[in-house]
Amino acid sequence: MNSKYDAIIIGAGHNGLVTAAYLARAGRKVLVLERRELIGGCVVTEELWPGFKVSTASYVNSLFRPEIIRDLELKRHGFAMLPRSPSSFTPLPDGRYLMMGPDKAMTHREVSKFSKKDADNLPKFEAMLERVASFLAPMLVRTVARAIDVDGNGYFISDWTRDHLNFFRSIELTKSMMFFILLILVVVAAINLIATLVMIVKEKQTDIAILRTIGAAPVNVLRMFLVQGALIGLVGTVAGALLGWLLSVYFPAILHGIESAFGVQFLDASIYLMNDLPTDVRFADVFKVSVVTLLLTAAATIYPAWRASRTMPAEALRHD
């Protein structure tokens, strides 16, 4: 046995086998170790009684991706999908039973034996599951696709982020635009700060003049107003960041509160697959926004502080 391998996979379940097959196809030397005498893991058919083979665990092909069947040419190697007809049979101790499938009419008839209401609702439930599955299933190959790409071994694997590339680019663009719009808001707030400080400087002309006459140098006045502006900016930034963080964290609850108070629904689960808008607070982003805001507010204090430092004591006192 060759003792050098590129990869050793413990367990010959279907995930181990698929991974091993892809690695081997990429030219890697792979060893798969299985503790049972049978490979397949949970996806296994066993002859529990002579002449009778049964799926001892997983029996429905639900998550196995068609890309894998295609890539590994499984049909050529004997893979065949067996239709479920009937799809399930559940006997009960009291003699009753539930036989599902193969068609919708039969399923409805069978479930009606237990609950007419459930039988009527089942198609809606199944349609919802189909929608969720069609959205989620392509995500299953995402991590694998990334890992294989990193190796740069010439494979092209399509996943949902690639299939909907334009959609993701538009989300990224929206995010950048939102940052820009927020920046403009902060600039407006900074201009407000300039106006406030200029008014304070005007109002305090006499006090500045008195300070100057008792020996305060222009640089001291400059520093005083720089510190005052920076403090206003700091308090505003910290309060804004805290408020924004709280709003983001409790956004889903706030949204539901508004919905139930006004009897409206912003997100219809039957259209968008979810009735929540999940939020994800990224501290790196909060930090970036806070630093930019602080820098802008600090810059906004320079002009009013400079005006204050240029106050002529005699001139200011003469007009008082």
Ligand X SMILES: Cc1cc2nc3c(=O)[nH]c(=O)nc-3n(C[C@H](O)[C@H](O)[C@H](O)COP(=O)(O)OP(=O)(O)OC[C@H]3O[C@@H](n4cnc5c(N)ncnc54)[C@H](O)[C@@H]3O)c2cc1C
Binding site for ligand X (CB under 6 A): 10-16, 33-36, 41-43, 57-60, 62-63
Of the pair 57, 231, the CB lying nearest ligand X is at 57
Of the pair 63, 195, the CB lying nearest ligand X is at 63
Token pair belonging to 277: 């808008």
Smallest gap from Cβ 14 to ligand X, in A, equals 5
Smallest gap from Cβ 30 to ligand X, in A, equals 15
Of the pair 62, 166, the CB lying nearest ligand X is at 62
Of the pair 58, 196, the CB lying nearest ligand X is at 58
Determine the Cα–Cα distance for residues 277 and 134; give it in Å rounded to an integer: 20
Determine the Cα–Cα distance for residues 188 and 196; give it in Å rounded to an integer: 12
Query: What are the φ and ψ backbone dihedral angles of 31, each rounded to 5 degrees?
Result: -120, 130
Smallest gap from Cβ 249 to ligand X, in A, equals 34
Smallest gap from Cβ 175 to ligand X, in A, equals 35
Query: What are the φ and ψ backbone dihedral angles of 44, each rounded to 5 degrees?
Result: -140, 140
Smallest gap from Cβ 182 to ligand X, in A, equals 44
Smallest gap from Cβ 88 to ligand X, in A, equals 10
Q: How many CB atoms lie within 10 A of CB 205?
A: 19
Smallest gap from Cβ 63 to ligand X, in A, equals 5
Instruction: Please report which residue ranges of the chain form alpha helices under DSSP H.
Output: 14-25, 66-71, 104-112, 116-136, 142-151, 160-163, 165-203, 205-213, 218-249, 251-262, 269-272, 283-309, 313-318
Token pair belonging to 64: 């196995």
Of the pair 9, 221, the CB lying nearest ligand X is at 9
Determine the Cα–Cα distance for residues 176 and 279; give it in Å rounded to an integer: 17
Residue with tokens 């924004």: 244
**Among residues 233, 244, 225, which one has the least CA distance to residue 286?**
244
Determine the Cα–Cα distance for residues 142 and 126; give it in Å rounded to an integer: 25
Smallest gap from Cβ 37 to ligand X, in A, equals 10
Token pair belonging to 168: 């993701």
Of the pair 42, 147, the CB lying nearest ligand X is at 42
Of the pair 87, 161, the CB lying nearest ligand X is at 87
Q: How many CB atoms lie within 10 A of CB 63?
A: 11
Of the pair 57, 238, the CB lying nearest ligand X is at 57
DSSP line for 193-226: HHHHHHHHHHHTHHHHHHHHHTT--HHHHHHHHH
